[in-house]
Amino acid sequence: MLYWLGRLAYVRGAFPVATGYAEQSLVIADRLGDEGLAAPSVNLMGRAYYLMGEHARAGELLARSVEQMRALGDPAEEATAAGYAGVALGALGDFGRALPYADRGLRLAETLGNPFALAAAYNYRAVAYCHQGAGARAITDCEEARRVAERAGDRFRIYLLQFYEGQACLMIADPARARELLESSIAQAKQLGTTTLLAWGQGLLATALLALGQHSLVPALCEETIRLAESTHDRLANALAHRTLAEGLARVTPSDVERAERAVLDAIRIQQELGSRPELARSYLSYARLLRGWNRIDDARRHLAEALAMFREMGMAHDLAQAEGEASTSAS
């Protein structure tokens, strides 16, 4: 009962409530020495902690869940755990482990004959690709997931997918399509009565508006997103909104340099605390651009060098190419 109360809270987006119930359930299961009872709660906690931005803890729990489900002979839950482990490890920039886990989840899902599991598995790998900056691959997986989900009538999966497809469209320089997808999913959140990933979607929408040159709309949307992210404990979305707020404040007329710098430094602080290295490297690159615009050239070069080193280490080819373009511009 405690597990299912947690699962219901999870679907509503009440992640702290979900982990509270799941932890109570796990205490009882561990006391009984019953792995069959423990495994669902471990899995649920891993997912919820990921969505709250606790990526290191989520990755540890989900890797444990994969092995639990394999030992219990439950391929459906093993597929879910493996897919989500790929997502959590991807958020940490550990793509050498993330993508094999995501692939494992997809292979298992393909054997189940369950369209809900298959759509989810494609979704999870798409998220790992988004963390890596592999936009085209993420879009391919999102399209496949949506095809399966539409056939199954899985409205919640379609809602989630549009956020990640929107993020991937931003990576391939298609902000108009990104805006269309993100606004559609944000509208669906109200119909579904959920806040799951809503702050992340709003932060991405602000990024799309920025790319479309609608700078005046960005600060207010980012402020709203920050409040939502704080209420839903979505720290990764909080950091994204702060970074986008900084870029928006730097581009409006008149620009607010002091407030913009505070915002990007808040994003960096949150990402450092979370260990979210892909997003942290992107924030270093963003900060370098801002610093160059403020004619603080030495500081800009230092943060650009940090971003370059991190992108190379993590094998983030798309982001690395962007950073190298910035480096070339700075050198000239």
Q: What is the pLDDT of residues 200-245, one digit of tens each?
A: 999 999 999 999 999 999 999 999 999 999 998 889 999 999 999 9
pTM for this structure? 0.90
| pLDDT per position as a tens digit, 54-72 | 889 999 999 989 999 999 9
**151 touches 121 (CB < 8 A):** no
Fold of 114-192: 1.25.40
Say whether pLDDT at 332 is over 70: no
Residue 99 has pLDDT above 80, yes or no: yes
The 3-class secondary structure across 168-203, one letter per residue, is: HHHHCCCHHHHHHHHHHHHHHHHHHCCCCCHHHHHH
Please provide the DSSP assignment of 250-305 as one string. HHSSS--HHHHHHHHHHHHHHHHHHT-HHHHHHHHHHHHHHHHHTT-HHHHHHHHH
Give residue 88's pLDDT.
94
Residues with Cβ within 8 Å of residue 170, at least 6 apart in sequence:
135, 178, 204, 207, 208, 211
Query: How far apart, in whole angstroms, are the C-alpha atoms of residue 193 and residue 47?
Result: 19
- Do 1-112 and 114-192 show the same overall fold? yes
Domain boundaries, the chain: 1-112, 114-192, 214-269, 276-327
User: What's the pLDDT score for residue 249?
Assistant: 95
Q: Is 330 a residue whose pLDDT tops 80?
A: no
Per-residue pLDDT reduced to its tens digit, 258-296: 999 999 999 999 999 999 999 999 999 999 999 999 999
Q: What is the mean pLDDT of residues 298-304?
A: 96
Q: What digits encode the pLDDT tens for the residues 111-122?
A: 999 999 999 999
Residue written as tokens 């298609």? 174
Who's near 66: CB < 8 A, 6+ residues apart?
78, 81, 82, 85, 101, 104
Residue 331 reports pLDDT greater than 80: no
- 1-112: CATH, from 3.30.420.10, 1.25.40.10, 1.10.4100.10, 1.10.3720.10: 1.25.40.10
Q: Rg of the Cα trace of the chain?
A: 20
**Percentage of the chain exceeding pLDDT 70:** 99
